Amino acid sequence: MNDSKHSGNLGQQLMARLDEAAQYSLPGAGVTRLFCSEEHRQVLALIGDWMRQAGLNPELDASGNLVGRNARAQAGERTLILGSHQDTVVEGGKYDGMLGVALPLQALQALKDDGVELPYGVEVVAFGDEEGTRFQSTLIGSRALAGTFDPASLEARDADGISLGEALSRFGGAPERIPQLARRSDALLGYIEVHIEQGPILEQRDQAVGVVTALTGIERHRLSVAGKAGHAGTTPMPGRRDALVGAARMVLEADRVLNATEAFVGVIGKLDVRPNAVNVIPAEVNFTLELRSPDPDVRARGREEILAACRRIAADGELKLSCETTYQAEAVACAGWLIEALESACRSCGEPAERLFSGAGHDGLAMNDVTDIGMLFVRCRDGLSHHPDEAISAEDADRATRVLMRFLGDLDPARPA
């Protein structure tokens, strides 16, 4: 592929687009854009414009994804899917997810402006829901494309009691037609996602981009600790069955195990206390436990060590403990040929692009069930994500866009064999 005619402005154009997309947010710090919300609807109008400028035809699918296809994809030729998610966590940043929508469209538009016609089908997908912020049900859109969508998730409800199915229907989706979205493996070349690293490795290496080797496995649990309420002033300290004291000890034990185990991270991110009164001994505490590791054996051993400690603490405090697994996704490896193709594109653009694994989950976890996946990371300041101060530089945006242009231009539609 010949070098692009564009000189130095691709990154600035991309940053301007990301700034514009960030305006579609609930009020408050950072960006809050939930699945099937009015802000979601508004940002899809903007993304649809970007798709048309890149030579793609946008369409809202039955699961709430916005899908842009080029002429070859519409004609049924083997297709490369690129994309990421538009939704955010509460008070998140501008780049998590949205970078992987805007950057491929910027790259495709630049190739189009350069007169380059790719010899294969292309889809860019703005997945509706990856974070699970509104309905606590993640990877809805990518599971639909992969053919692994669970219809039972349509019954999940948000804080206002609205079900996922109801919200999707109001949004213009069609829950009953989601099974028809499943792609055929033999019709796909693969799936590529561009994403901020959400970690510090690239910054430590002083590299703009990195090639991902695997996406971490994730599991989430909901633990409930039941004790006995009582008057905080009249109940003697010895013999109290304080659910919060027990839960606090469990949190500390989980933190100890996580810190002592290589390639194992986790968080107790949500904790609810009942009755949550200033002068009442807590009767019940519910908390979440999320565990991540690219090695399933490490995760399993760590989980069992944490839960065994929680059971001991409950028994010592005469507390009742229950645990429910609410989510589980195994680690997936990126395809070797896509790793090599991304590395080759990096080398052609003068980027060292060493390999690294992702400690976060992405839509690729679902897409791996239907096709080969590859992933390009972009450096983010201080490794910060899920935060209003999440940031990338215009220079890194430019360099990543050019790497993806090179990858797209060099991709052999006959691969993999």
Query: DSSP states of 200-255 as a string?
Result: SHHHHHT-SEEEEEEE-EEEEEEEEEE----BTTTS-STT---HHHHHHHHHHHHH
Domain check: are 67 and 144 in the same one?
Answer: yes
Q: Do 350 and 230 share a domain, yes or no?
A: no
- What is the pLDDT at residue 415? 72
**Model-level pTM?**
0.83
Last residue of a domain, one of 291, 309, 329: 329
Do 104 and 56 lie in one domain? The reply is yes
* Strand (E) or helix (H) holding 301: helix 296-316
115 in the same domain as 41: yes
Instruction: Kindly state whether residues 58 and 178 are assigned to the same domain.
Output: yes
Q: Which of 397, 135, 295 is nearest to 303 (CA)?
A: 295
Specify the pLDDT at position 7.
52
Q: Show which of 294, 329, 364 is a domain's final residue.
A: 329
Same domain, 99 and 121: yes
Is residue 2 pLDDT above 50, yes or no?
Answer: no
Residue 416 lies in a domain: no
pLDDT tens by residue, 384-400: 999 999 999 999 999 99
> For the purposes of burial, counting CB atoms within 10 Å of the CB of 147, is it exposed (0-12), middle (13-18) or buried (19 or more)?
middle
Q: Is the pLDDT of residue 8 over 70?
A: no
The answer to the question of residue 417 being in a domain is: no
Q: Strand pairing of 265-267 and 284-293? A: antiparallel
The CATH number of the domain holding residue 138 is 3.40.630.10
pLDDT tens digits, one per residue of 236-276: 999 999 999 999 999 999 999 999 999 899 999 999 999 99
Rounded distance between C-alpha atoms, residue 288 and residue 326, angstroms: 9
Q: Is residue 2 part of a domain?
A: no
Q: Report the C-alpha gap between 114 and 125 in whole angstroms.
A: 23
Q: What is the CA radius of gyration of the chain?
A: 23
Closest by alpha carbon to 390, among 83, 42, 99, 33?
99
pLDDT tens track for 155-196 = 999 999 999 999 999 999 999 999 999 999 999 999 999 999
In the chain, the number of structural domains is 2
- Write down the mean pLDDT value for the chain: 95
Does the pLDDT value for residue 282 go beyond 70?
yes
| Residue 192 shares a structural domain with residue 53 | yes
Q: Confidence band (pLDDT; 50, 70, 90) for 11?
A: very high
Kindly state the tokens that stand for 397.
Answer: 């945006």
Do 392 and 354 lie in one domain? The reply is yes
Both 95 and 228 in a single domain?
A: no
- Do 207 and 223 belong together in one domain? no
Helix axes 10-22, 394-410, angle to 10 degrees: 110
4 domain-assigned: no
- CATH code of 303's domain: 3.30.70.360
The amino acid that residue 44 corresponds to is L
Residues 50, 124 within the same domain: yes
**CA pair distance 275, 270, nearest whole angstrom:** 16
Which residues have CB under 8 Å from 188's CB, separation 6+?
78, 79, 80, 81, 370, 371
Q: Is the pLDDT of residue 356 over 50?
A: yes
Tell me the pLDDT tens digit for each residue of 95-151. Answer: 999 999 999 999 999 999 999 999 999 999 999 999 999 998 889 999 999 999 999
Q: Helix (H, G, I), strand (E, B), or coil: what is residue 161?
A: coil
Decide which of 298, 329, 360 is a domain's last residue: 329
The reported pLDDT for the residue numbered 331 is: 87
CB 207 within 8 A of CB 352: yes
Domain around 312? 217-329
Cβ–Cβ under 8 Å, residues 33 and 26: yes
pLDDT over 60 at 380, yes or no: yes
Give the model's pLDDT for residue 4: 53
- Residue 279 in domain: yes
